[in-house]
Amino acid sequence: MKGVIIMLNAERKEIKNEDKGFVVDDDNKATWCLRKIKHFKSKQEKNKELAEEQIREIEKEIKEVEEWLEAENSKLENSIEFMKSKLHLYAQQLREKNPDLKTHKLPFGQLQFRSQRPKWKYDNDRLLDFAEKKYQELIKVKKSVDKRELKSKAKIVGGRVIIEKTGELVEGVEVVERGEKFKVKTND
């Protein structure tokens, strides 16, 4: 990895040196630049391959640690559940003696009995059919603008969006002009 860093630093120095007064003013220099770009891309690909290999190795180690954590915590979770079951039996014995018992306080915690609200299980398709037939107010509808359709009906005039047929100004849209994009393409 150190070698890669040294090579990258050398490349940066080379680029800085090339930048001083270097001008592309003919096809030979342009071709040289394209060759250099191709070379740099090749180095990028090699760097990427090296990094991916290192990542794969590290991911194996991470997986080993995660598996260890899962195994150890699973054992501990089993112990916790075992203790909870014993505490539940003890709390039930206490409740037999005192039917109104809700909480039993101890130095390191509490044993509690709490009422729970009923759990609602939904069959969403059947529920939606029911609501559509009789209770429309229960149905939520998410509204959004069809932006593709908007673009087909509108045009940009003077940096603003207007509806083409009516000339009406569209509110809530900002047009950000973008200049040309320059792209260098090498033959790989």
Span 16-23, mean pLDDT? 69
For the cut 70, the answer to whether the pLDDT of residue 151 exceeds it is yes
Predicted confidence at residue 4, as pLDDT, reads 46
Residue 161 CB partners (closer than 8 Å, separation 6+): 154, 155, 169, 170, 173, 175
Between CA 30 and CA 114 the distance in angstroms is 78
Beta bridge partners of 156: 161
For the cut 70, the answer to whether the pLDDT of residue 152 exceeds it is yes
Span 100-119, mean pLDDT? 89
pLDDT digits (tens, 9 = 90+) for 54-98: 999 999 999 999 999 999 999 999 999 999 999 999 999 999 999
Per-residue pLDDT band at 19 (split at 50, 70, 90): low
Strands (E), the chain: 103-106, 109-112, 154-157, 160-163
Whole-prediction pTM: 0.47
Better-predicted residue by pLDDT, 10 or 53: 53
Contact (Cβ atoms closer than 8 angstroms) between residue 175 and residue 156: yes
| Helix/strand/coil (H/E/C) assignment for every residue in 71-107 | HHHHHHHHHHHHHHHHHHHHHHHHHHHCCCCCEEEEC
Average pLDDT, the chain: 87
Question: How far from 39 is each of 5, 18, 29, 46, 74, CA to CA, in Å?
Answer: 17, 15, 15, 11, 51
Predicted confidence at residue 36, as pLDDT, reads 94
Helix (H, G, I), strand (E, B) or coil at 168: coil
Between CA 111 and CA 101 the distance in angstroms is 10
Residue from 14, 1, 17 nearest 40 by CA: 14
Span 161-184, mean pLDDT? 85
158: left (phi over 0), alpha (psi -120 to 50) or beta: left
